[in-house]
Amino acid sequence: MDIKKAAVIGSGVMGSGIAAHIANAGVPVMLLDIVPKGANDRSALARNAIAKMLKTDPAPFMHRDAAKLVTPGNLEDDLKALGDCDWIVEAVIERLDIKHDVFKKLEANRKKGSIVSSNTSTIPLAKLVEGLPESFQQDFVITHFFNPPRYMRLLEIVAGAKTKKDVVQSIAQFCDVRLGKGVIHAKDTPGFVGNRIGTMWIQAAVNAAADHGLTVEEADSVASRPMGFPKTGIFGLLDLVGIDLMPHVGKSMRANLPGSDPLVTEFREDSAKFIEKMIAEGYTGRKGKGGFYRMNKAGKERVKESIDLKTGAYAASQKAQLESVSVGGKDLRKLVSHPDKGGRFAWDMLAKTLAYAASLVPEIADD
């Protein structure tokens, strides 16, 4: 299928970002959301999301003119216009009941053969299509983008038992060629590929940092460029994406994985309580008062501070000084074999993550 027009349902961070990137490919796209109560502009949510993206850094749009290809709308007045769309992406809140309500509206208004996909990362495809017509199930896939959609290359595609092969081929080709994505085909398992393995990496790193007595700066100096990970490091990354997401991800994984799964055993009570205390005190990351790092105003100056992983107290951030990083900064073998706490931390985290990833073939993907 040639995708000439698209629609995205849900104008939150992910939905609006996906719409922007579709527009970057030169494809007109509708951005729909609910009608706000008492609003004069019934499409205010989508319209405001577009305006916000024009001010966002890094920019979701490759050029400001791409924003002209995104048409704001709402889920009451503009449903019939979905009949002109070749691809409809659902990106609403991660609640099955709300998604089902949206899918019923889409099925009633979409044209025959149009592709419908969900950006979910937590709800199994089998549950998403449960009770929906077979025609809908045949045209349905999961297209899981990563944030921010323009810059994160990975895209997971998950097909259902009844999804037509040409639907999978069409959307994979479009996302590869037009959107520039690195497409992987995942199976309908908890967390798919990225979040399943990524969550293990995060949990293993948090636990290992505490076990080996590292500061957050030391852990981030290891779990970053020296290991081929983002320069933020593990704790800087958690601050960026939001620490409050951790309990939700953990709850979802524990609910859908057997107790014997190695990931389940990494959700330890000590680290969970530490995170819960941070969240309760408003330390949810960059969007809150701070997180593992915070900026504290001392007089006229702002001082960068970090949290003590044992006591929970904040103190002025200190640059990490680890021999393992100095020696093995460009040689992973030297890093993980170094006897200092940085080397032991690196090996503990990496060994668990790689062993877990290898054990999941072919459960979560065929290769």
What is the helix, strand, coil percentage profile of the chain, to 5? 45, 15, 40
Model confidence pLDDT, tens digit, residues 160-187: 999 999 999 999 999 999 999 999 999 9
Q: What is the pLDDT of residue 162?
A: 98
- Least Cα distance to 26 among 66, 81, 59 occurs for 66
Q: What is the pLDDT of residue 46?
A: 98
Model confidence pLDDT, tens digit, residues 324-338: 999 998 899 999 999
Provide the CATH number for the domain formed by 6-186 in this structure.
3.40.50.720
Q: What is the pLDDT of residue 188?
A: 96
CA distance 62 to 105: 32
Q: What is the pLDDT of residue 138?
A: 99
Q: What is the pLDDT of residue 122?
A: 86
Q: What is the pLDDT of residue 330?
A: 86
Ranges of each domain in the chain: 6-186, 194-359
**74: three-class secondary structure by DSSP:** strand
- DSSP state letters, 176-243: IIIT--EEEEE-SSTTTTHHHHHHHHHHHHHHHHHHTT--HHHHHHHSSGGGTS-TTHHHHHHHHH-T
**284: three-class secondary structure by DSSP:** coil
Q: What is the pLDDT of residue 230?
A: 85
* Helix 194-211 × helix 269-280 angle, to 10°: 100
CA distance 265 to 253: 11
**Are β-strands 29-33 and 70-74 bridged in parallel, bridged antiparallel, or unpaired?**
parallel
Identical fold between 6-186 and 194-359: no
Q: What is the pLDDT of residue 139?
A: 99
Q: What is the pLDDT of residue 84?
A: 98
| Fold of the CATH domain 194-359 | N-(1-d-carboxylethyl)-l-norvaline Dehydrogenase; domain 2 (1.10.1040)
Whether the full predicted model's pTM is greater than 0.95, yes or no, is no
pLDDT < 70: residue spans in the chain: none
